[in-house]
Amino acid sequence: MEIGKVPESVLKRSVLKQIRTRRKEVILGAAIGEDCAAVALEEDEIFVLSTDPITGTSVDIGRLAIQVTLNDLASAGAEPVGVLLSVLLPEHITEPKIRQLVAQAEEACSQANVQMMGGHTEVTAVVNQPVITVTGVGKAKRGALVTTAGAAPGMDIVLTKWAGLEGTSILAKEKEKELSARFSGAFIRQAKELDAMLSVLPEAKIAVESGVSAMHDVTEGGIFGALWEMAESSGVGLEIDLKKIPLKQETVEICEFFGINPYQLISSGAMLMAAKDGNRLVMDLKKAGIFAAVIGKATAGNDRVLLNGEERRFLEPPKTDELYKVV
């Protein structure tokens, strides 16, 4: 396609026509010539906003871009309402590829009852693969906002699902040929399908009802990065039992194959939480069919300690995600 705005005919046919999910709160949405969206809230509600790009993969990028931003909103205890997409496309893009990308995004929106409210779609020479930046709009009741900074000394640290889910799925999709030299087709398929667990909206809702004090979705930098960020934001120390951090076998073996650290691998689908009674929170989550585990405690002071049997070492500030060493 030619550099510049996507042609109006393509925009109507392959973008706007596919946006089907609607929310009553959205009073001005995506349309030709509209540069803004408008949302109406109740008197006791507040806006919660988040923005995130997807750059580490081009596989299933439309769905992944939506999911990551919805997870950010959920980690604040907010109900997602709508999203705006800024989509930068390479010159070699075809209309069927654009349609597929938007269809992926709409499917993710539909599953979460979220409306694509608007955005911008452009072909440009500055990218060699699609780059999507999503801005999410959510709502929460006044006084019910949950932050990353809510952890206090003595609180339990809880992790939902498993660390490394997103990175494992991306590696299985992007590096299937290399992995097939060691692993069976069934194993690689199972690793790919871990992306079915990337939404943290269900556990966030349960956690808010259970009285969680802090939440942080585990994304770039992995569980080590998320632990550091929660501790830094809350001004607390940590004592984390490495052996209690849950990992899928697919994650362990694929990370071993590529020589990377699973605890520093992008981990959308896992939610880090702080609660006064972590065991109760774990039980509430398990009643809803969501696996979770208490992995340690917040402490007074600034020491952020990782325990591995008799070994004690200090957690370090977030590093470059392990995914970028491979893809």
The residue written with tokens 């405690």 in the block is: 297
> Kindly report the CA angle at 181 between 179 and 187, in degrees rounded to 5?
50
Between residues 35 and 116, which one has the greater pLDDT? 116
Res 325 pLDDT > 90: yes
Angle between helix 278-287 and helix 201-210 axes, rounded to 10 deg: 130
Domains 4-141 and 148-325 share a fold: no
* CA angle at 174 for the pair 169 and 177, rounded to the nearest 5°: 110
Q: Tell me which H or E stretch contains 224.
A: helix 222-234
Question: What distance separates the 2 farthest-apart alpha carbons in the chain?
Answer: 65
258-266 average pLDDT score: 97
The pLDDT assigned to 1 comes to 86
CATH superfamily to which 4-141 belongs: PurM-like, N-terminal domain (3.30.1330.10)
76 and 215 Cβ atoms separated by less than 8 Å: yes
- 311 and 247 Cβ atoms separated by less than 8 Å: no
**pLDDT-derived band of residue 35, with 50, 70 and 90 as boundaries?**
confident
pLDDT in tens, 268-284: 999 999 999 999 999 99
Alpha helices for 15-136 (secondary structure H): 61-75, 95-112
Per-residue pLDDT band for 4 (boundaries 50, 70, 90) equals: confident
Mean pLDDT, residues 197-205: 95
The SS3 call for residue 280 is: helix
Q: What is the pLDDT of residues 287-321, one digit of tens each?
A: 999 999 999 999 999 999 999 999 999 999 998 99
* Cβ 156 vs Cβ 277: under 8 Å: yes
The first and second tokens of residue 197, run together, are 């667990």
Residue 55: band (very low, low, confident or very high) from pLDDT cuts 50, 70, 90: confident
| Closest listed residue to residue 149, CA positions, set 39, 272, 315 | 272
Residue among 288, 278, 265, 280 at smallest CA distance from 218: 265
* Average pLDDT in the chain: 94
Q: What per-residue confidence (pLDDT) applies to 32?
A: 84
Residue-wise pLDDT tens digits, 70-102: 999 999 999 999 999 999 999 999 999 999 999
Q: Which two tokens stand for residue 327?
A: 């893809």
Asked if the model's pLDDT at residue 56 lies above 80, the reply is no
Enumerate the domain spans of the chain.
4-141, 148-325
- What string of H, E and C letters represents the secondary structure of 232-281? HHHCCEEEEEHHHCCECHHHHHHHHHHCCCHHHCCCCCCEEEEECCHHHH
Among candidate residues 269, 263, 270, 274, the one with its CA nearest the CA of residue 321: 263
CA–CA dist 45, 78 (Å, integer): 10
Q: What does the pLDDT average to over 182-195?
A: 97
- The helix (H) or strand (E) run that includes residue 127 is none
Q: Is the pLDDT of residue 58 over 80?
A: no
Question: Model-level pTM?
Answer: 0.89
Contacts with 8 (C-beta within 8 Å, 6 or more apart), sequence order: 32
pLDDT at residue number 36: 86
Tokens 């009741």 locate to 141
| Structure confidence at residue 23 as a pLDDT band (50, 70, 90) | very high
For 232-245, what is each residue's pLDDT tens digit?
999 999 999 999 99
For residues 178 and 49, the answer to whether their CB atoms sit within 8 Å is no
Q: Confidence class of residue 188 from pLDDT cuts 50, 70 and 90?
A: very high
CATH of domain 148-325: 3.90.650.10
pLDDT of residue 51: 94
